[in-house]
Amino acid sequence: MKEPTYLDALKTSWDLAWHHKSLWIFGLFAAFLGQMGILEILTKVGVTTSNLEIPSALVMVWNFIAELRHSDMSFFSTLPVDRWFLLAWLVVIFVSFGIAFLFVSVISQGALVHRTAVYIAKKGKKMPDAHESWHASVVHFWRLLSLNILRKVLIIAMALFVGWAVANALIEPTLGDNILFLILFVLASLMGLVFSLWLVYAVGYVVIEEYPFVKAIRAAWRLFTNHWLVSFEVGFVIIILDVIASLLALAGVFIVFFPTLFLLVLSIYFKAHILLTIGIVLGIVLSTLYVMLLGSICTVFTTSAWTFLFTKMHTHGMVSRVLSWMGKA
């Protein structure tokens, strides 16, 4: 049997991402959970080093609550009963929408993994129906949600870890503080990469092998430790492809805003500000749609690549390219 290679993984992932456009809707929702792989932890840790508000969303919520404590609450006390009911309904609606969106995102991630696994098993001859993959993922919802929550908690923990190092290096820094920051940054990044790849494989065990949560975590750790070099090699390749995709996103947004520049010239010439407004709105809408489409395709590609890697390592094993080039495998 031919040994699977990284090129096989990339070809299979590209075929799924480009020729099976029904997967894009799954990719669109799954993208909001964060990318499967190691790019997310690198970006989060990198952002942390340049922004001490860690994590920024939590700081914003805390500042909002703090402002409420010192503000005049008489406005709420004067609201009539019918307005209170309206406010309560709005809160219920938004919370329900958020829960529904989270549910669809988690199920979409599992459906992508399931469809990719079936595609690989049948060697691309037959794709499972979207409803089949959807229902197969629904069964594993709580385990998938738990894995995603665990991944987010670990990423936040690594970001806080680096944030403490940044703060320590900025407040009366010494040479020792700077060295400590460098060591902690590298250590947090490596730990984050390990955690991220570990949980990627856990998702595979949950969806494909239908392992319970704890068993999936343990099996994923064994798989990672047995193939840690292969995992980092593939992760490095995917990071390069992600950088290329980011450049395509920037170039696409720039091209999409060309009509805005044209309308800007017309608005100045005819002194019609409405043309500039139309151009800005059109540019924002088109660029948003473009980035969402590109993000959806990238999510399908990345998820498929890691699923391919998981299935081959789990069933056949994969040899590190670095070791092969060195003649040690």
Q: Please say if the pLDDT value at position 28 is more than 80.
A: yes
* Most confident stretch, 3-17, 39-53, 178-192: 3-17
Taking the C-alpha atoms of residue 37 and residue 327, their distance in angstroms, rounded to an integer, is: 28
Taking the C-alpha atoms of residue 208 and residue 220, their distance in angstroms, rounded to an integer, is: 12
pLDDT of residue 128: 63
* Domain membership flag for residue 41: yes
* Domain membership flag for residue 315: yes
* Domain membership flag for residue 182: yes
Q: Please say if the pLDDT value at position 74 is more than 60.
A: no
Range of the structural domain that residue 197 is part of: 6-325
The answer to whether 235 touches 243, Cβ cutoff 8 Å, is no
Taking the C-alpha atoms of residue 158 and residue 41, their distance in angstroms, rounded to an integer, is: 8
Residue of 326, 245, 308 lying closest to 6 (CA atoms): 308
Q: Please say if the pLDDT value at position 145 is more than 90.
A: yes
* Domain membership flag for residue 253: yes
262-313 pLDDT, tens digit each: 777 777 777 777 877 887 888 888 888 898 999 899 899 999 988 998 988 8
Bond before 55 cis per omega within 30 degrees = yes
* Domain membership flag for residue 1: no
* Domain membership flag for residue 63: yes
Averaged pLDDT, 36-43: 58
* Domain membership flag for residue 317: yes
Taking the C-alpha atoms of residue 162 and residue 142, their distance in angstroms, rounded to an integer, is: 30
Question: In sequence order, which ranges of the chain are alpha helices (DSSP H)?
Answer: 6-19, 24-30, 39-50, 56-70, 74-77, 81-121, 130-138, 141-170, 175-207, 213-226, 228-256, 258-270, 273-315, 321-325
Averaged pLDDT, 86-111: 91
The answer to whether 300 touches 24, Cβ cutoff 8 Å, is yes
State the average pLDDT for the chain.
78
* Domain membership flag for residue 300: yes
Count of structural domains within the chain: 1
pLDDT of residue 239: 82
Worst-scoring range by mean pLDDT, 14-23, 83-92, 258-267? 258-267
Q: Please say if the pLDDT value at position 69 is more than 60.
A: no
189-206 pLDDT, tens digit each: 777 778 888 888 999 999
